Homo-oligomer: A and B are copies of this chain.
Amino acid sequence: MSDTIEKVSIIVSKGSLEGVYPALIMANGARAEGIEANLFFTFFGLDAIHKRRFEHIKVASVGNPGLHLATLAGGLPGMSSVLTHYMERKMEKLDIPPVPEFLQMISDTGAGLYACKASVDLFGLTKDDLVDQVKDIITVGEFYELAAGGQIIFT
């Protein structure tokens, strides 16, 4: 194996803000180092590249003890939005943009954005439902071809 990482292929499988951001940050960090980066959006991760949804990615307010929030409180209507707003403001201070702008920024660095064909079919979507930065809808097999010679990171 070579002494440097030449390529990362990052699978985005979750649709929550804290599920999507690590993938975007790792892709962006890779490009900043001159590492080739591809993002493959699958299952609920598709929301991050879905035109009607990618501006509304939310923090999961239950099922995450890391938030130190009583589950019943986390289940209150609006709690997820409050947490999302809080995290977005924190992100902004770190110069980490909201999901739509972040996708554009990453795409501009030359990273490839791809949607998983099985997931697109599962949710009954077409290319038109996805943001313009998406290069292609590809199969798992095509993903493996794309990822060869690099690291696969499933998030």
Residues of A in contact with B (beta carbons under 8 Å apart): 1-6, 8, 11, 13-18, 21-22, 25-26, 28-30, 32-33, 35, 42-45, 47, 57-67, 70-72, 74-77, 79-80, 90-91, 94, 96, 118, 121-122, 139-141, 143-145, 147-155
Please, could you name 27 A-B residue pairs with CB atoms under 8 Å apart, sorted by A? Answer: A1-B6, A2-B148, A5-B144, A11-B153, A15-B64, A15-B67, A16-B65, A17-B65, A22-B42, A25-B118, A29-B139, A29-B141, A29-B143, A30-B144, A47-B66, A58-B65, A59-B65, A60-B65, A70-B77, A71-B75, A72-B76, A90-B122, A91-B122, A94-B122, A96-B118, A147-B151, A151-B151
B61, A71: Cβ atoms under 8 Å?
yes
Among residues of B, the one whose C-beta sits closest to the C-beta of A57 is B65
Among residues of B, the one whose C-beta sits closest to the C-beta of A87 is B122
Residue from B1, B15, B26 within 8 A of A66 (CB atoms): B15
A153, B152: Cβ atoms under 8 Å?
yes
CB contacts (< 8 Å) of A58 on chain B: these are 65
